Amino acid sequence: KDQVLQATKVVDDLGIPVMAFGLKNDFRNELFEGTKYLLLYADKLEEMKTICWFCTKKATMNMRMSNGKPVFEGEQVSIGGNEMYYPVCRRHYNHPPMLDNK
């Protein structure tokens, strides 16, 4: 929140354009705090579209996986890469297929 408010001051008081990007929601489908304030204060929003890992629909959610199974509880931030997080559509978020854990 504080960083977003600082960025608005840079834009408004100093006339310097600021661009920011990030994930909208976490693996529990909740907004990140910073994202909430970016959405509130942004002059312009551009969505970077992503395709679901399991089908060709638009991915609107992020799924955290552990040992090939979806995780819906835990700390909001956990550092990991492709082996841990997957972009998914709402259908596959609510009805996730299991991953081969080879």
Q: How far apart are CA 74 and CA 101, in angstroms?
A: 21
pLDDT digits (tens, 9 = 90+) for 3-24: 999 999 999 999 999 999 888 9
Residues 28 and 57 in one domain: no
- Strand pairing of 69-71 and 61-66? antiparallel
Please give the pLDDT value at position 66.
83
The gap from C-alpha 58 to its chain's centroid, in whole angstroms, comes to 14
User: Same structural domain for residues 60 and 98?
Assistant: yes
27-78 pLDDT, tens digit per residue, is 999 998 889 999 999 999 998 999 999 999 999 999 998 888 888 887 777 6
User: Are 26 and 65 in the same domain?
Assistant: no
| Same structural domain, 42 and 83 | no
Q: What is the CATH number of the domain that holds 77?
A: 3.30.60.20
Compute φ and ψ for 71, nearest 5 degrees. Answer: -120, 130
Phi, psi of 26 (to 5 degrees): -90, -175
Compute CA distances 44 → 40, 47, 94, whole Å: 10, 10, 30
Its domain, for residue 32, covers 1-46
* Whether residue 29 is found in the same domain as residue 53: no
Beta-bridged to residue 69, according to DSSP, are 66
- Residue 23 sits in the same domain as residue 41: yes
| pLDDT for the residue numbered 13 | 98
Q: What pLDDT is attached to residue 30?
A: 92
Q: Are residues 53 and 16 in the same domain?
A: no
Are 68 and 89 within one domain?
Answer: yes
Q: Is residue 94 packed enough to be buried (19+ CB in 10 Å), middle (13-18) or exposed (0-12)?
A: exposed
